[in-house]
Amino acid sequence: MNPDALQAQLLAAFYEESADALERLESGLVRLDADAGRDLIDDLFRAIHSLKGGAGVVGLVELGPLAHAIESVFDRLRRGARATPAMTTALLRGVDALRGGLAARRAGRPDGAACARAVTELEQLGAAVAPTAAPPAETRLWAVTIAPRPDALRDGLDLAGVLAQLVELGPAMVTTELDALPPLAELDPARSYLRWQVMVSTARRREELLAIVAWIDDTCAVAVEPVVAEALPEPDAVEAAPPAAVPARDAGGGSAAAAASSIRVGIDKIDALINMVGELVITQSMLGELDDDAPLDRGRLARLREGLGQLARNTRALQDSVMRLRSMPVGTLFNRFPRLVRELGERLGKEIALEISGPATELDKAVLEKLGDPLIHLVRNAIDHGIEPVADRVAAGKPPAGTIRLHAEHRGGDVIVEITDDGRGLDAARIVATARAKALIAPDATLDERAAYQLVFLPGFSTAREVSDLSGRGVGMDVVRRHVLELGGDIVLDSRPGRGTRVTLRLPLTLAIIDGQLVRLGDRQMVIPLLSITESVELDPARTACLGGTLDVYRLRDQLVPMLDLAALLELPRHAAQRRILVVVTVDDAPIGLLVDEVLAQQQVVVKSLESNYQRVPGLAGATILGDGQVAFILDVVALVQAARVPSLAAAAA
Partner 1 sequence: MTIADQAQLLTFFVSGAEYGVDILRVQEIRGWSAPMPMPRTPPFVKGVINIRGDIVPIADLRERLGMASQDATATTAIVVLRIDHGGRSTVRGIVVDAMSDVTTVDAAQIKPPPDVAEAAAFAALARGIAIVDDKLITILDVDGVFPSAPSNDNHDAVDASAAFATP
Residues lying near partner 1 in the complex (CB under 8 A) are found at 440-442, 445-448, 451, 454-455, 457-460, 478, 481-482, 485, 524, 570-572, 608-610, 612-620, 623, 625, 629-633, 642-643, 645
Shortest CB 458 distance to partner 1, Å: 6
State the Cα–Cα distance between residues 189 and 202, nearest whole angstrom. 35
Buried b (16+ CB within 10 A) or exposed e, 610-625: beeeeebeebbbbbbe
Taking the least distance from each CB to partner 1, the nearer of 360 and 625 is 625
SS3 175: strand
Q: In the bound complex, what is the minimum distance in angstroms from residue 480's beta carbon to partner 1?
A: 12
Q: How far apart are CA 56 and CA 47, in angstroms?
A: 14
Closer residue to partner 1 in complex, CB, 566/582? 566
Rg of the chain over CA atoms, in angstroms?
31
423 backbone φψ class: left, alpha, beta (φ>0; ψ -120 to 50): beta
d(CA 636, CA 643) in angstroms, rounded, equals 11
Pick between residue 454 and residue 602 the one whose CB is nearest to partner 1. 454
Strand order of the β-sheet with 220-226 is: 172-177, 195-202, 140-148, 220-226
Minimum separation from the CB atom of position 620 to partner 1 (A): 7
φ, ψ (nearest 5 deg) of residue 379: -70, -40
State in angstroms the smallest separation of the CB of 139 from partner 1. 54
- How many CA within 13 A on the CB side of residue 232? 15
User: How many Cβ atoms sit within 10 Å of the Cβ of residue 10?
Assistant: 15
CA angle, 558 as apex, 554 and 564 as ends, to 5°?
A: 20
CB of 607 to partner 1, least distance (A): 10
Nearest residue (CB) to partner 1, 405 versus 616: 616
Which of 2, 615 has the CB closer to partner 1?
615
C-beta of 303 vs 608, nearer to partner 1: 608
Q: How far is the CB of 322 from partner 1 (least distance, A)?
A: 19
Q: Where is 288: in which H helix or E strand?
A: helix 267-288
**Minimum CB separation from partner 1 for residue 495, in Å?**
16
DSSP assignment letter at 291: -
Contact 513, 604 (CB under 8 A): yes
- Alpha-carbon distance of 398 to 331, in angstroms, equals 29
Residue 600 beta carbon to partner 1: minimum distance, rounded to whole angstroms: 16
**Residue 617 beta carbon to partner 1: minimum distance, rounded to whole angstroms:** 6
Please tell me the distance from the alpha carbon of residue 228 to that of residue 206, in angstroms, as a whole number. Answer: 14
Q: How far is CA 34 from CA 29, 84, 88, in A?
A: 10, 10, 11
Nearer to partner 1, 132 or 613 (CB): 613
**204 vs 370, which CB is nearer to partner 1?**
370
Nearest CA to 513 out of 318, 329, 369 is that of 318
* Closest CB to partner 1 among residues 501, 624: 624
Judged by beta carbon, residue 304 or residue 440, the one nearer partner 1 is 440
Supply the minimum distance, in Å, between the C-beta of residue 645 and partner 1. 7
